[in-house]
Amino acid sequence: MTARTTIAIATTAGACALALGATAPALAGPGQAEDKGMVSVFHGIPGMTVDVYANGEELLSDFKPGTVTDPQSLDAGTYDIQVFEAGQDPDGSPALEEQVKVPEGGNATIAAHLSADGEPRLTAFANDVSTVDAGTARLTVRHVAAAPAVDVRAGGQALFTDLANPDEDTTAVDAGSVIADAVLTGTDTVAVGPADLKLKEGTSNVVYAWGSAEDKNLALATQTFSGMDSTPTAVHAGVTGSAVTPNSSDQWLTWVAAAGLVTATGALVARRAAVRRG
């Protein structure tokens, strides 16, 4: 099945304006060019290694579930993204097709994942890379799994409640190690986890709950941004320590050179779930 929608992340002077009218956190890092956007991609469709094309040019091949690319600084513009099963003829029908607008000054992760009812989709999330207080780290959880709503626990205590696909929730926590899991909302039935999260001071940590409850392959993947008092960089992310897809940075740079960009003008419409503060 081919899904076709438009995803756009809106930014104004380095901040994201949400479709719901809420004020979003600052996104652009110091020194980031205003005509650029930082973009990474998370693959959360289980059992499906894919090739990804942008404006007809291959940018990622054999992209495996549970991995995320390093963020890259891209020219602002519009990209036609097509996702095919690995090795499939790109002249055929893609498994997923979206038009994605990369905004000026933004920092975003585009997640390819399953909807709550198991359909493939793309969701663009704005990454909060604003500064955090001394001794703390930022923790964000994104529900991108074909699964019911969950409560997210840290050290056995509820941190976020009733988190549904494709929503996210975020809060500041004390830096250090924490055991986290997700249980079905209102119960003690563990849906995914536990996972040992190491949250370093001055980092922004994103945890993706992905996979399918029906297929019993729910898992967690992580993405970490560091240097919240400077332009952030991301470290390798994946499930249970698996690394980022090899050469993903080189492939993204090839995309920038090969894809014909359309300059984005005016305000872009935000497509991300509202962040609920705990």
Token output for 264? 């984005």
Residue 277 has pLDDT above 80, yes or no: no
Higher-confidence residue of 45 and 232: namely 45
Per-residue b or e along 31-70, where b marks 16 or more CB atoms closer than 10 Å to that residue's CB = ebeeebbbbbbbbbbbebebbbbbbeebbbbebebbbbbb
- The pLDDT, as a whole number, for residue 73 is 83
pLDDT, residue 221, reads 94
Q: Please determine, for residue 207, whether its predicted confidence score (pLDDT) is greater than 80.
A: yes
- Total structural domains within the chain: 1
E strand or H helix at 204: strand 204-212
**Plot region of 90 (φ>0 → left; ψ -120 to 50 → alpha; else → beta):** alpha
d(Cα 126, Cα 145) in Å, to the nearest integer?
18
CB of 28 closer than 8 Å to CB of 37:
no
Rounded to an integer, the average pLDDT of 194-210 is 95
Range of the domain at 98: 4-277
pLDDT in tens, 249-275: 333 333 333 333 222 222 222 223 333
